[in-house]
Chain A
Amino acid sequence: MEKKKPKNVFVQGAISSDFIGNSIAKHQTKTSIGAHNIFLGQVRADQVDERTITAIEYTAYEEMANQKFYEIRESTFDKFEITCMHIYHSLGTVKAGEICLFVFVSAPRRKVVFEALEFIVEAIKADVPVFGKEIFEDQTHQWKQNSYTE
């Protein structure tokens, strides 16, 4: 099978509201689109044994992760009648309350964007080799692990 070189999904640090706003603005020229749907993953300040998470430090097996993001993209276009989609994921430190994942999907009509977005986010959580070190306020840490119920 021919392997196209996947583009880089990763951004250093948190994803800003400006970046997200600009992405939306860029779609104003694509007038066949009638519906956008956006997922934003935000770092939660979970409490574990009286310590509070203040940030997550993300690392990834970047070559494999970008390939997986590319495969998710291909299978989303195969399954759903969408116009376009974009995925951005943070690397490095993202503080509690900041955005670490931005998924943006657009289509002529609304129904498909709800289904496509859920498919993409679940696939990212399950299949992409990204790792998260959850840092507590006292600088101790634990390792994040995705569950299917979150």
Chain B
Amino acid sequence: MELNIKYFGMLAEATATHEEQMQIETCSVAQLLEKLNHRYPKLANMDFKVAINQQLVRPDSIINSEAEIALLPPFAGG
């Protein structure tokens, strides 16, 4: 299945990427992050939340269909 992965703020800066597609089998959020940490070693030390289709999720959440994944650094609205 294909994931659309979005990076925001300091994460977009660290990965030099705003958005990319990735082919992946069913996995947990933690397993996906492991792959992304491998691709972008800077991510490993950064603080962020993950949203699947605009809903915040925990590391043990399962990704089992095409989805938009967003990596969200600390919020700074206002």
Interface positions of A (Cβ within 8 A of B) = 41, 58-61, 63-65, 67, 89, 100-101, 121, 124-133, 143-146
Shortest 6 CB-CB contacts between residues of A and residues of B: A131-B9, A130-B77, A132-B76, A144-B76, A64-B54, A145-B74
Q: Which residues of A contact B6 (CB under 8 A)?
A: 61
Given A64-B54, A130-B77, 10 more pairs with CB closer than 8 A: A61-B72, A89-B78, A101-B77, A125-B78, A129-B72, A131-B75, A132-B9, A145-B75, A145-B76, A146-B74
Which residues 24-78 of B sit at the A interface, judged by CB distance below 8 A? 51, 54, 70, 72-78
Residues of the A chain whose Cβ atoms lie less than 8 Å from the Cβ of B70: 61, 64, 129
Given contacts A61-B70, A64-B70, A133-B9, is CB(A128)–CB(B77) below 8 Å? yes
Chain A nearest CB, measured from B39 CB (Å): 21
The smallest C-beta distance from A9 to any residue of chain B, in angstroms, reads 10
Q: How many A-B residue pairs have CB under 8 A?
A: 66
Assess whether A131 is in contact with B78, with CB atoms less than 8 Å apart. no
Chain B contacts for A59, CB-based, 8 A: 8-9
Asked whether B3 is an interface residue with its Cβ less than 8 Å from the other chain, the reply is no
Q: How far is the CA of A7 from the CA of B61 in the complex (A)?
A: 29
Q: Given the complex, which residues of A lie within 8 Å of B73, measured CB to CB?
A: 131, 143
Tell me what chain B mostly uses at the interface: helix, strand, loop, or mixed: loop
How many residues in B have their beta carbons less than 8 Å from beta carbons of A?
14
Q: List 23 A-B contacts (CB under 8 A).
A: A59-B9, A60-B8, A60-B77, A61-B8, A61-B54, A65-B77, A67-B54, A89-B78, A101-B78, A121-B78, A128-B75, A128-B77, A129-B70, A129-B75, A130-B75, A130-B78, A131-B73, A132-B9, A143-B10, A143-B76, A144-B76, A145-B76, A146-B74
